[in-house]
Copies of this chain bind each other. A is one copy, B any other.
Amino acid sequence: MKVDGKPMRTIWLADDGWGVEIIDQTALPHRLVLTRLVDLESAARAIRDMLVRGAPLIGATAAYGMALAMRQDSSDAALAKAAEVLMATRPTAVNLRWAIDDMRRRLTGTAPPQRAAAAYARAAEIADEDVAICRRIGEHGAKLIEIAADRKPKGEAVNILTHCNAGWLATVDWGTALAPIYVAHDAGLAVHVWVDETRPRNQGAGLTAWELGQHGVPHTVIADNVGGHLMQHGMVDLCITGTDRTTASGDVCNKIGTYLKALAARDNAVAFYVALPGPTIDWTIEDGLRDIPIEQRGGEEVSLITGLDAKGEIATVRITPETSAVANYAFDVTPAHLVSGLITERGVCQASQTGLRSLYPEVSAD
């Protein structure tokens, strides 16, 4: 989408044809910093330290990480090691695994001297496929926004609440949850987005607000506590979030706090949609609450907050007493029965086994 009026992606091959460039998202929204990945380690670090985040972008970065690794050493041992190192970076993201498995399978069947070229080509394909998938998610989801618009007085903006960042910064372009919003906005529909700040890492306040603002989409940042109040007062027409992992029965594992918004949506008869690309569906599990391990991250993400200080420099402040314990669960599971529908690249379906299999009939039953 647009940055300073010009189209941009989150990851691309450098002009020299082998380096990989990314936006260092830890510097947003205050600075637009581009970072160059040059080897396996820098790609793994970019994922681990969340310079890139969002399931689809993690997948694309891992694919390019495999390519960078093959450029250094294309042996079977190096291939196995690259897969292992990248897999260990983020335990919850299912299409990290998908991208690595896909790359490994193809490269295993390729002779070592051809592996680097094959890896770059496949990584570029994965990135382009993600863009196409997100664009289709956007087209399908935009219809839901149009339906909401038709129910409102003419010209009044459709109010959409989103949590975390499932925008183009979380993918290669377009985004998942925000793709329908970009498609609707670009088509001239009046939309306004309530942006949950999304503690503890503030991806809403920092990333979603930034990318919506750069593309010209009206939005308002709110504390995560506010959504319920807005829904009680008819100020939200629909919710759209992303998901890091979706079970075969339609449970969604997304950024911590998503579940609370889904509860508020149900209590106030507000539609709650979840947007996802097919590769994030984990067909091997049914019960998200029972079967999805929830990543626990360091407590300092809660205690310490980074932003721009009065001098315009990036600084970090502590908000808790030094002696207080802090817990940091990164995701929660929203049961399928709270989800009004899943927006995929193949259309919108019910959040259920039946709904998902109607769109993905090629997936064999267990």
Contacts and interface: CB of A to CB of B under 8 A. Distances in A.
B257 A228 contact: yes
Interface stretch (A90-98, A327-335, A347-355): A327-335
A190 to B, nearest CB: 15
Interface stretch (A38-46, A101-109, A147-155, A307-315): A307-315
A252 to B, nearest CB: 13
Interface residues of A, number: 68
A226 B198 CA distance: 11
Nearest to A317: B307
Contacts of A267: 263
A203 to B, nearest CB: 11
So how many copies of this chain end up in the complex? 2
A227 interface: yes
A206 interface: yes
B317 A29 contact: no
A317 B319 contact: no
Contact of A263 (B197, B209, B263, B319): B263
B256 A323 contact: no
A257 B317 contact: no
Interface in A241-297: 255-257, 259-261, 263-264, 267, 289, 294
Interface stretch (A6-14, A75-83, A120-128, A217-225): A217-225
Contact of A320 (B206, B315, B326): B206
A221 B301 CA distance: 11
A320 B221 contact: yes
A228 B305 contact: no
Contact of A316 (B261, B310, B332): B310
Interface of A: 29-30, 194-195, 197-200, 202, 205-206, 209-210, 212-213, 218-230, 232-233, 255-257, 259-261, 263-264, 267, 289, 294, 299, 302-310, 315-321, 323-329, 331-333
8 nearest A-B pairs in the assembled complex, by CB-CB distance: A225-B257, A307-B317, A229-B332, A199-B223, A29-B321, A263-B263, A209-B324, A307-B319
